[in-house]
Each structure stands twice: as structure tokens, then as C-alpha cells.
Amino acid sequence: MKLITTLRIAAISLLIYIQISAVTAQGDNEWHANIKTVEKLSEEGRGFNYREDRVPAFTLPDLFTSNDGVKITSGDLWTKIRRPEILEMFRKNVYGRVPETTYKEEFKVINLDTHAMGGTATQKQVEIIIGKNSESLTIHLTLFTPNDIRQPVPAFLLIDNWTTDASVPSWKINGEFWPVNEALKRGYGMAVFSSSDLDPDNFDNFKNGIHGLLDKNPRPDDAWGTLAAWAWGASRCMDYLAGDKNIAPDKVAIVGHSRGGKTALWAGAEDTRFAMVVSNESGAGGAALARRRFGETVERLNAVFPHWFCSNYKKYSNKEDSLPVDMHMLLALIAPRSLYIDCADEDLWGDPHGSYLSLYNAIPVYNLLGRNSEIPESMPALNKQVISGRVGFHIRDGAHNLLMRDWNRFMDFADTVLK
Ligand code: GTR
């Protein structure tokens, strides 16, 4: 009897040991939030969750059943039925709708330097003038293209949400945030515009910026917010880039960091001319799944940035499960075009795991559209890039920022999908 009991205990212990080793072996390759960061942020408290075991159970809305119950089983059904209705749900409930106001658009190249960057590049400064009746708004676009490449080049267009003074060319002051030299050396054009040209980043009841020019009053509950205005500005820059002889119009990537990263995703969803979307640490209201309520939440976004989204979005504060969409559906709107998501290890506010899961859950749409992509459900290790078909991801060590190390990976990915 005693012997049997001893043997049983030994067998159970062995089983437990084998299971623990399996978990550790898998864990070695997988990113997990640093426990010290979790503890530090949790202590700072403020009622936000940074612990994976406290993420509530949730069910993501189904990508492949239409609002009328049609099963989306082909690329054709996706493109004709499901994609348009998901886009509509994001317009109506999240970012808002662009008004149908007629406007005029004019491009003025106000500065052309064919010997920029020590003669290696051509620099253009372009004014994109949006006019309605006697009023107008100007978007300042700066563009560099490499001189040693004779044919049109692929290019990155950065939404600059850091420079508030658009008259100061941001490439001079931002260094790693917009690394022109490094990109030119790798054969890419670099374009940038300042989001504040479209709409200053504060709540003024939509009086200034493009809202002041184009909105019809009273504003409906699904009228565009500030992020949608910035995304619209990216499309106006694309209008210019599409006609610039140095740029390959079918190879333009839209890039944004943080609130700019949320904007880049929405620009890519609304405007299919963007061949690639890069969303750097976009977090809540960007790549991160809202239903996880990890780090920043819908309620916090609405409270602190009431101008970013449409009014309808306020209905979902603390009611994430009633949102008809989640962010994997936003990422799916980019398919079959190229999509790159990245996060930073210390930036738990932006929920790296929730951003990765969002990408993972969007992959079936890439596959339905014939862009075979496959990424594991578990996150890659810190600083290890994952590229599969038209999607890419990395999580970098360090804090919330857009660094040269991120750009190098964007360009490695772009080398595989744009060149
Ligand atoms: C934070 C905000 C985030 C993110 C970030 C940024 O204050 O909570 O959603 O957008 O700003 O843009 O740097």
C-alpha cells in the first residue's frame, strides 16, 4: 500500500515537473511584461490594469459573419460585403465620418532644392491648400528623395504629431523620429506633415483647423474627430505624392507614432492607396484590443482626449463589450496591403500583448485574400522581429518612443514588401 502511494506521488511529481518545464521552455522565446514594470505601474495605480491575469474574459466580434448573418467565405464576399460594413462601423462608432463638403485642392511647390543633404537628395516643400469659398487651410508637406536612383522610389509618409509649429521643418529637429538620411541611403523617399496643420491637438469644440473649414453644423454624433482629420490630411498628402514623378505611387507607406499610430491605421483603412501601414506603439484606440481593458481604456481616452474620436465613441466608455467592432477588425481593413505593428517593452499603457493579439486575429483576413501570412499566437521574444507575408511585428526594449531601431525594422519589412 505504502509503495503504491509513494509511486503515485512520484508519478504526479514527474508529471508536474514535465508540465512546468514545457511552460518554461515556451516562455523562453515569448515576450512577457517585466514583473517590475507591472508592479511599478500597478502601484502608481490610478485604477488601470497591468496584470495579464486580471484581463476580463471576452469574445471578439466575428470577422466572417456579416451584420445580416451572411457567412464570409471568399475574398469577394469580404471585399463586397464585410469590409465596407466594418469600415462603416468604425466611422459611425469610433473615428467619425468626413463631411461631404465640397472643397478645392491646390499644390504649390514653394521650395525645390536638388542639392539637399550634401547633394545626395532632392528636397521639396509643398503647400497643399484646401479651399472653401474665400477661406482656406494649408498643409505643409516636406519631401526628400534620393538623387542616385533614377526611377520612382517607395516612400514613407510620417504623420508628425510632435511638431506643433509647421513652419519649422521638423526633419531638422527630430533626429530618430524621422531619420531622413538613413532612409535615403536605403533607397526610400521620406515625406512628413504636421498633424497640427489639420487640427491642433486640443478640445475647442471643433472650431479651428479643418473642422472649422469643412464641418456642417450642428455636428452629428458620428462627425469626424481629430484623429480622422489627421488621417484625412495624410490622404491629401497622398494626393500630392501620387503625382510626384520621383515617388512610386503604389509604394507609399503611412507611418505614425502613438496617437499618430492610431491615425496611421485609420488612414490606411480609409485610403487604400497606402500600400503599407506602420503603427508604432499606437495602444488604445489604435492596435490594442479594447475588450482587454489593459492599460489605457476607452473611458480614459474619451475623458482626456474628448476631441480624438466621434461623439458616439463615448457610449462605449466602460462598455467595451458592446462595441460592434474591436481593433483586430481595424487591422483587417488594411488587408491585403502590408501592415507593420510594433510596441515597446516598458509601454504597458499601450498594451503590447493586446496589440499583438489584434494582429494575430486579423491574419485570417490576409489568408482569405490570398496573402498567406502566419504568425504564432504567442508573442515573439523581445527585440525579435516577426515577418510573415504582408504582416510584421516587433517589441523593442525600452520606453514609449519612435527610434532608429524601430525604423530599421520598418525598412527591413518594407524591403520585403515594397521593393
Ligand atoms: C498618451 C495617450 C496615448 C498615446 C500617447 C501619445 O497620453 O494616453 O493614447 O496616444 O499619449 O500620443 O504619445
Domain boundaries defined on the chain = 1-30, 75-417
**Does 94 have pLDDT greater than 60?**
yes
Q: What is the pLDDT of residue 20?
A: 38
Q: What is the pLDDT of residue 156?
A: 98
Reported residue count of the chain is 419
Q: What is the pLDDT of residue 196?
A: 95
**Ligand 1 nearest-atom number relative to CA 284:** 9
CB proximity list for 204: less than 8 A, separation 6 or greater = 307
Q: What residue ranges line ligand 1, CB within 6 angstroms?
A: 258-259, 283-284, 296
User: What's the pLDDT band for 175 if we cut at 50, 70, 90?
Assistant: confident
**Ligand 1 nearest-atom number relative to CA 296:** 8
Pocket test for ligand 1, best of 203, 257, 258 (most atoms within 8 A of CB): 258
Give the least confident one: 28-32, 106-110, 138-142, 242-246. Answer: 28-32
**Ligand 1 nearest-atom number relative to CA 300:** 8
Average pLDDT over residues 406-418: 98
> Average pLDDT of the chain?
93
Q: Mark whether 115 is an active-site residue.
A: no
**Does 344 have pLDDT greater than 50?**
yes
CB proximity list for 277: less than 8 A, separation 6 or greater = 253, 254, 264, 265, 267, 268, 334, 337, 338, 339, 340
**Does 250 have pLDDT greater than 70?**
yes
- Give the distance (Å) from ligand 1 centre to CA of residue 257: 9
Q: pLDDT (tens digit, 9 = 90+) per residue, 50-72? A: 999 999 999 999 999 999 999 99
CB proximity list for 234: less than 8 A, separation 6 or greater = 157, 159, 193, 254, 263, 264, 267, 271, 274
CATH class of 75-417: alpha beta
Q: Mark whether 258 is an active-site residue.
A: yes
Q: What is the pLDDT of residue 18?
A: 40
**Does 163 have pLDDT greater than 80?**
no
What is the rounded CA–CA span in Å between residue 251 and residue 337? 10
- Give the distance (Å) from ligand 1 centre to CA of residue 136: 29
Q: CA separation (Å) from 51 to 56, 70, 260, 344, 351?
A: 11, 37, 26, 16, 10
